[in-house]
Structure 1
Amino acid sequence: MSAASPPDDFSPSSTAAAATAPVPATMAVSQSPESLAAAAKTLSRIAFGLLALVALAALVIAIALWQRVSGMQEQLARQSAEAQAQSLEARTLARQAMDTVRDTAARAALTETRVAEVALQRSQLEELMQSLSRSRDENLVVDIESAVRLALQQAQVTGSVEPLLAALKSGDLRIARAAQPRLAPLQRAIQRDADRLRSSASADNGEALQKLDELMRGIDDLPPLNAVAMRGSGLNTWQPEPIPADAAWWERALLTVRGELRSLVRVGRIERPEAVLLAPDQTYFLRENLKLKLLNARLSLLSRQMDTARSELATVAASLNRYFDPASRRTQAAATLLQQLQAQVKNVEPPRIDETLAALTTAAAGR
């Protein structure tokens, strides 16, 4: 039995030795065909199971690979669509950029053309100015002279010396900036004329015009001398007889009736009969005539005709003293306004700048 037990070593050398060694008779007798067929059948089943397992594993692996390939295809399709959209957008942006570049290039070319034209015109203008202009001092003298003469004409027309003072001040500043010793006499003459104009400048006529308007508005409220029916303060005013406080009722009534009867007929001294004999409709025309006189005085004041304005104011003052009640406060206020107006209206001498004009002539002749 010990000789029939299989060896423990399954090395190739032992296998070969076993294959070449003679089979014992007891083993050859025990391995029958039925056992061999069963062993072969078992081996075939094991091989079939292994093949089934391998096929199943291959099928699982194939399904997993198919799913993965499908996911990769979907991702590739999505990425391809996104890439196509980005490509279209990039083409659109590139087209827009090309259009912008084209427009910019056209505008740049147009700008360069215009700049070249402007440069050419500037050079031509400089050449023309250099060929036609005078020297700096000559131009300065001519400009100052034209500005001063224009301002002098405005001052003579309007009666205001402000434009002339502004022109003299501008000329003084320009000469000071030029810093030319040759123009120093002209600068001194301008300064002297400006000081003389400031000292002799007439006051503004705004206040006189306001007083004229106020006087015209108050003409309708002036009480005339022939207003005998009015009670109050005046040349021919009357007051009722005072009634004693301790008088009886019949005495009060008698005094009241006597006062009313005495008010019907009054006797007074007439110093100016033409004013008292003036009819009511003539009083209306008198007021309108005074308004026209004041309006003429206003127009004369605006046009710098001081003699005419003073004459009209004198006529208004004479009519006011002749036909209106001098004891009335309104008449006194109107007379005060007239006196103030006559004091303000003066015969203003037209502005003169003889020294400046002479200095300008000398400076222009010395060029």
Structure 2
Amino acid sequence: MEHNKQDPNQEVHSDNDVIESKTMSKPKSEAPSSQSDKKQSDSKASDTHPKNKSSWWVRLGILLCLIIAIAGIGISYLLYMELESQKVALQTQNQQTNAISDEVTKRLVAPTRRIAELEVQQKNDSLAYQKQNQLAKSHKQLQERVATLAQRSPNNWMASEAEYLVRMAGRKLWLENDPKTAASLLASADDRIEAMKDPSLLPIRRALANDLARTNSIKTTDVAGTIYAIDGLLHQLDNLSLNRAKAQSAADLSEQNVISDSLDDWQSNLAKTWHSVTDGFITIRKRTTDLEPLLAPDQQWYLVENIRNKLLQAQLALYQHDEVNYRQSIGFARTWVQQYFDLDNEKTQEAIAALDALMTLSIEQVTYQKFDSTRLLQQLITYGELVPAEEPQL
């Protein structure tokens, strides 16, 4: 068995034996070269075996790299296809989600609008409820006030009526400048206080008497009568005649220049003949009025309207108790009537006389500002009796 075993280096040894046998047979002079050849053969034999072994491992590594690369490419392709499918699915899902979202938004428009309307209605209902509560509270307070007044003396109603009459008298006096109506209202208020038959109310009657006396002492202006007088002038303006030069008619001239057949009238006939010849050259007339430019007949309408406007302004100033503007408007109207209308006409003279009378009107202003009885009547209504005045401190 030991002889059958082969040594891997057996060939090398056999070769070496052959080489050694050969070298032994050669002469000694060739010994150095044989030794060098032996070294070269040994080195070749030792290099051949490792090269074969390393090339096999390289091939195996390259094969494994190719297999791994192919597998990586396949796996990458599969991953890419998977990602593409997921991307398509995601886009489809997004489209479906957007479609669903749009549909939901469209369906929520009406409910949202209805919710907004309900919120507004709820707000209005809350405001109405608050207002209703306020009205209920005011109604309750009014009922309590009526019940309180009902428990008082019946004279309180008469005192309230007297206070109302005094307040109306103040309005007539200060707003409408009507002292006569104000005095009658104050007298009616005094009658109400007198009917109460309460001696403690004598200070109120004393104050009412003072107010009545001051109101009667106010000088009044007949506003209504003056307004009616101005209205009469407004109606007469269209009937006034303008101040024009009076030309002698041709018929009168022909009558004056008629020559008689009697010989005894030769002097008058000669004069008439002379006048008939000279009248065509020179005409002399005398005027006693101012030499103002005369208006054409078509301009009379503008003049009448201007005068009417001034008279209307005078009426407005009279209602406002503005004496300055009143007199100024009447003065303008009088100046235009006297300047542009015929002063010999009777209607013109009547209009000027009426304007002179209106100029003399004096508009009185009300200087009485407050009634003394107002404060006392308010005390009577509020407290049911007069509050005593505080005594001055010494």
Question: TM-score when scaled to structure 1?
Answer: 0.50
- Note the 1:1-367 alignment, pairs <5 A: 129-133=146-150, 135-136=152-153, 140-225=158-243, 227-229=244-246, 251=268, 255=272, 258=275, 261=279, 265-268=283-286, 272-273=290-291, 275-349=292-366, 352-357=369-374, 359-360=376-377, 366=387
Whole-angstrom distance in 2 between the partners of 1:204 and 1:182: 40
**Whole-angstrom distance in 2 between the partners of 1:187 and 1:253:** 97
Give 5+ residue unaligned stretches, structure 1: 1-124, 232-238
Once the two structures are superposed, residues 166-215 of structure 1 have per-residue CA deviations (whole angstroms, 9 ceiling, x without a partner) of: 32112111111112222212212212322332343525433323321221
Matching residue's letter, 2:311? L
Instruction: Give the whole-Å Cα distance in 2 for the aligned partners of 1:328 and 1:171.
Output: 55
For residue 296 of structure 2, what is the amino acid of its counterpart?
A
Q: Distance in 2 between matches of 1:150 and 1:164?
A: 8
State the number of aligned residues.
234
Farther-moved stretch of structure 1 (153-162 vs 289-298): 153-162
The alpha-carbon distance between structure 1 residues 351 and 299, as it changes in their structure 2 partners (threshold 3 A), is same
| Counterpart contact for 1:158–1:304, Cα < 8 Å | no
Query: 1:28-75 deviations in whole A, cap 9, x for unaligned?
Result: xxxxxxxxxxxxxxxxxxxxxxxxxxxxxxxxxxxxxxxxxxxxxxxx
**TM-score, with normalisation over the residues of structure 2?**
0.47
Q: Distance in 2 between matches of 1:315 and 1:169?
A: 43
Match of 1:48 in 2: none
Distance 1:278 1:327 in 2: 17
- The structural deviation recorded for 1:293 is 1.5
The match for 1:13 is none
Aligned-partner Cα distance in 2 for 1:174–1:353: 20
Report deviation, 1:366: 0.7
Structure-2 separation of matches of 1:348 and 1:141 = 31
Q: Which has the larger radius of gyration?
A: 2
Q: State how far apart, in whole Å, the 1-side matches of 2:282 and 2:367 are.
A: 60
| Distance apart, 1:315 and its partner CA | 1.4
Q: Given that residues 320 and 335 in structure 1 are in contact (C-alpha distance below 8 angstroms), is that contact kept between their aligned partners in structure 2?
A: yes
Give the CA deviation at 1:317: 1.5
1:224 & 1:263 partners in 2: Cα distance? 29
Q: Is the 8 A contact 1:224 1:325 kept in 2?
A: yes
Q: Give the Cα–Cα distance (whole angstroms) in 1 for the partners of residues 346 and 273 of structure 2.
A: 29
CA–CA distance in structure 1, aligned partners of residues 152 and 201 of structure 2: 14
* Unmatched segments (≥5 aa) in structure 2: 1-141, 389-394
CA distance in 2, matches of 1:366, 1:140: 18
Residue deviations 1:68-90 (CA, integer Å, cap 9, x gap)? xxxxxxxxxxxxxxxxxxxxxxx
Work out the CA distance in 1 between the residues paired with 2:356 and 2:338: 12
**Partners of 2:237 and 2:281 in 1: CA distance:** 28
What displacement does 1:327 show? 3.9
